[in-house]
């Protein structure tokens, strides 16, 4: 199992800011793999799926950096 964290800040104020490159990278990985970030945990949004037969979690923490 792999967990990939994309670091950034939540909210529209930071949406296209270079501080959110981690969020942007996860969006690309999500699109290419079909893993949807549609689950909410205690402090983040995440999705789970498989990449090359291995279970993967994609996580966007929702706490400020």
Confidence of residue 21 (pLDDT cuts 50, 70, 90): very high
- Can you tell me the distance from the alpha carbon of 29 to that of 33, in angstroms, rounded to the nearest whole number? 6
The two structure tokens encoding residue 20: 């959110």
DSSP E strands in 1-65: the ranges are 2-5, 39-40, 44-51, 54-61
- Can you tell me the distance from the alpha carbon of 16 to that of 22, in angstroms, rounded to the nearest whole number? 11
The set of catalytic residues is 19
Average pLDDT over residues 27-50: 96
The answer to whether the predicted template modeling score (pTM) of the entire model surpasses 0.95 is no
- Can you tell me the distance from the alpha carbon of 53 to that of 15, in angstroms, rounded to the nearest whole number? 32
Token look-up 């296209």 returns: 16
Q: In the predicted model, is pLDDT for residue 6 greater than 90? A: yes
Q: In the predicted model, is pLDDT for residue 40 greater than 90? A: yes
Q: In the predicted model, is pLDDT for residue 65 greater than 90? A: no
Average pLDDT over residues 57-62: 97
């Amino acid at each position: 199992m792999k967990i990939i964290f994309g670091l950034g800040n939540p909210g529209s104020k930071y949406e296209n800011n270079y501080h959110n490159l981690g969020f942007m990278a996860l969006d690309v990985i999500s699109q290419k793999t079909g893993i949807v970030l549609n689950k909410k945990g205690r402090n983040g949004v995440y999705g789970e799926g498989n990449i090359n037969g291995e279970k993967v979690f994609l996580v966007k923490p929702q706490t400020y950096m």
